[in-house]
Amino acid sequence: MSFLRSLAFLLWFAAVTIVMGTLALPLLLGPRKAALWLSQKWAAATLWGLKVFAGVDWRITGSVPRAPVLVAVKHMSTWDTLAIHLALGDPGIVLKRSLLWIPFFGWYVAKTSAIPIDRGGGAATLWAMTKAAQKVLAQGRPVVIFPEGTRKKPAAPPDYKPGVAGLYRQLEVACVPVALNSGRYWQGFWKRPGTITLAFLEPIPPGLKRAEFMSLLQERIETATSALLAG
């Protein structure tokens, strides 16, 4: 049954992506808002199919920020990017530049919400990321970063990268930590029925020292994530 559910969702996901992405290609030549509308509809359709075919629903807890802030999200699966995009409405998302080459997904992300980075770029990468993030904040939109830089399995030890601290310091805005338990229900091809929780936690005020910020960010996200996984 798990195999059939997972396969049914995969077929749905492929169909929705190809059909919607192909029909809406002209939107990539138009204003950003038009492509944003399409990307939100695609994400919503994907998660609808996840619930119908694989039995995976989701919910939000905590206060969703409606201000130009930095949002640091635990990363366990592809689901995270879809859900945070829908929850925040119009975020700028820090992601690897290579993801922009993925057919359909990458094209629309590049048009609507990407803050692309080159890993290993050092100070130049931080400078470019900061400049792009400042433009997003100036539009009244939140900036999303996955502080571990990649997806982690639920039981994996945390590995928070310094980039989130550099961005926090340069932007001088509050940081909203976000915990989740998506890795419990979305594991690559396999989908497990249940309800994923996207938990917005207490914001971290701007101005903290790097070490204090990193310690507080990791403590809040990991403590809440562990509680969600154990629940």
Q: Tens of pLDDT along 173-200?
A: 999 999 999 999 999 999 999 999 999 9
Number of domains comprising the chain: 1
Give Dmax over CA atoms of the chain in angstroms. 51
Residues in the chain: 231
pLDDT at 120: 62
The answer to whether residue 85 sits within a structural domain is yes
Mean pLDDT to the nearest integer, 7-19: 96
pLDDT at 87: 97
The answer to whether residue 197 sits within a structural domain is yes
pLDDT at 190: 96
Question: Is the CB of residue 93 less than 8 Å from the CB of residue 113?
Answer: yes
The answer to whether residue 19 sits within a structural domain is no
Question: Is the CB of residue 86 less than 8 Å from the CB of residue 50?
Answer: no
Residue 51 in this model has a pLDDT that exceeds 90: yes
Q: Comparing C-alpha atoms, which of 65, 201, 80 is closest to residue 145?
A: 80
pLDDT tens-place string over residues 100-131: 888 888 888 888 888 888 766 667 777 888 99
We report the CATH number of the domain holding residue 65 as: 3.40.1130.10
DSSP 91: -
Spatial separation of the C-alpha atoms in residues 9 and 82, rounded to whole Å: 15
Domain that holds residue 82: 55-230
